[in-house]
């Protein structure tokens, strides 16, 4: 992460892969941190309504649902995925 800086697209792709790998292993709560970091970076770079932001929000919403937090998942999607 330190080499490229977190604003670099490859560093952000690594966050996405980390989150999706953890989610795939059934470790949804651990997947939240990389997905939350990625969403924050995407909102900063592209704003709240952008395809890259929506993808990051959707991944985070999936992890939230898998963690049992459907209320936050739905709110997140209403804000970034289908506003």
pLDDT in the model for residue 57: 96
Kindly report the pTM of this predicted structure: 0.90
- pLDDT tens for residues 1-42? 556 676 777 889 999 999 999 999 999 999 999 999 999 999
pLDDT in the model for residue 9: 79
For the chain, the first-to-last Cα distance in angstroms comes to 31
Q: What is the largest CA-CA distance in the chain?
A: 36
| Nearest residue to 54 (alpha-carbon basis) of 77, 22, 20, 23 | 77
């Amino acid at each position: 992460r330190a080499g490229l800086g977190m604003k670099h697209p490859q560093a952000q792709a690594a966050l996405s892969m980390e989150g999706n790998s953890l989610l795939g292993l059934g470790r949804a709560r651990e997947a939240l941190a990389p997905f939350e970091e990625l969403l924050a970076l995407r909102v900063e770079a592209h704003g709240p309504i952008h395809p890259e932001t929506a993808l990051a929000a959707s991944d985070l919403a999936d992890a939230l649902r898998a963690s049992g937090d459907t209320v936050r998942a739905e709110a997140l999607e209403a804000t970034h995925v289908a506003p």
